[in-house]
Amino acid sequence: MVGSGPLVDAAVLLMRLVVFGLALGLTVISFQSYREQRTERLQFAFLGFAFISMGVALSAIVGQLGSGASDSVLTLFRIAETVPFIIGFVMFYLSLYR
């Protein structure tokens, strides 16, 4: 972002932490549901939320790297942040269609 100051950076970091907190909360709720009723669907849903939470956490980390890392390192981190989202959405798919 061109011309962003420390206040804008702090606001973006706060919003990313809120998204991570919400994702983590959904993961906990889905785990509790899975513990109550041990079904395959709830297991896949829990795993989906867990991987989405990992993806959100990695996105926050990669977002903080910004221009401090080289292009090749930043590209590798962006790939690494995308993989948990892919796995998480595959788990959601399996929970809905199995």
Going by pLDDT thresholds of 50, 70 and 90, the confidence category of residue 18 is: very high
Look over the chain and give the mean of its residue pLDDT values, rounded to a whole number: 88
82, part of any domain: yes
1 lies in a domain?
no
Indicate whether 62 belongs to any domain: yes
Can you give the chain as a three-state secondary structure string?
Answer: CCCCCHHHHHHHHHHHHHHHHHHHHHHHHHHHHHHHCCCHHHHHHHHHHHHHHHHHHHHHHHHHHHHHCCHHHHHHHHHHHHHHHHHHHHHHHHHHHC
Q: What is the mean pLDDT of residues 64-80?
A: 80
Structural domains of the chain, count: 1
pTM of the model: 0.83
* 12: pLDDT strictly greater than 90: no
Domain of residue 38, residue span: 6-97
- The predicted-structure confidence for 57-70, as pLDDT tens digits, reads as follows 888 888 777 667 78
Within a domain: 32: yes
The model's pLDDT over 28-60, given as tens digits with 9 standing for 90+, comes to 999 999 999 999 999 999 999 999 999 998 888
